[in-house]
Amino acid sequence: MQPSQGTEVHVQHCEHSLQVPFGLIEAVVYTCIVYFIVDYQRGPGYFFIFYLLCFSVMQVMAAIMRFNACVSPNMVISNSEVSFLQASGSSPLLA
């Protein structure tokens, strides 16, 4: 028996909604490592602002990559678009 279109959409929605809790965990790990190695100001307020910033950036980049996967017809074009995004965001000091 083949699954209906609604079931497939529901499964895809569940996969995307599971990325938020995993994103929270990834942001905690990354923030703990970077925040204390760089030795930013010690304080819970500063830490949680940095944590929210890291989590937000991770979610935005995941959304941009998902959008790129939806609009690209194949992997070659998708890779060239992503490399353009990475190159356009580079620092002018490195160019």
- 95 lies in a domain? no
The dihedral over CA atoms of 54, 56, 60, 65, expressed in degrees to the nearest 10, equals 40
Residue span of the structural domain in which 77 resides: 21-88
- Count CB neighbours of 36 within 10 A: 11
Per-residue model confidence as pLDDT tens for the chain (95 residues): 455 555 554 455 566 677 788 888 999 999 999 998 998 888 899 999 999 999 999 888 888 888 888 888 888 887 777 777 666 655 454 44
- 82 lies in a domain? yes
Report helix, strand or coil for 35: helix
- 55 lies in a domain? yes
pTM of the model: 0.68
Report helix, strand or coil for 16: helix
- 68 lies in a domain? yes
> Which residues does 65 contact at the CB level (< 8 Å), separation at least 6?
82
- 34 lies in a domain? yes
Say how many domains are in the chain: 1
